[in-house]
Structure 1
């Protein structure tokens, strides 16, 4: 995977992460909040955060000490 592909995947993951923020907030505001769905969204959001961190790590060149 080259740098352009990594950056594209990061951007997609960040967009999905923001979309989940919106979905989580909307779900919280509902009178009859589906707690299971809320937990799924939060778990997916954490996975996206980890994926973004991993992908960003691929962009940092290895430094031999």
Structure 2
């Protein structure tokens, strides 16, 4: 699991690559969380940590997606 925070780039192809990586990590976390929820002996603290990371990824994805939308006021 990566702890990197995406950096805004002026290059759209770099942003698209970062976005793809974050979406992949988000999907993997979602699957991991789903497995842990079904396990009766799961570690609640670990589950909370993973959910928090998933929310952070969601926010980062939204930020990068919005940076790809052209500014119409320009």
TM-score normalised by length of structure 1: 0.93
* Structure 1, unpaired ranges of 5+: none
1:9-60 per-residue CA deviation (whole Å, 9 max, x = no partner) reads: 0000000000001110111121211000000110000000000000001101
Higher helix share: 1
* Equivalent in the alignment of 1:56: 65
* Structure 2, unpaired ranges of 5+: 1-8
The count of corresponding residues between Structure 1 and Structure 2 is 65
Task: Return the structure number with greater relative CO, CA threshold 8 A, min gap 6.
Answer: 1
Among candidates 8, 29, 36, match of residue 17 of structure 2: 8
| Matched ranges for 1:18-37 at <5 A | 18-37=27-46
TM-score normalised by length of structure 2: 0.83
RMSD value, Cα? 1.2
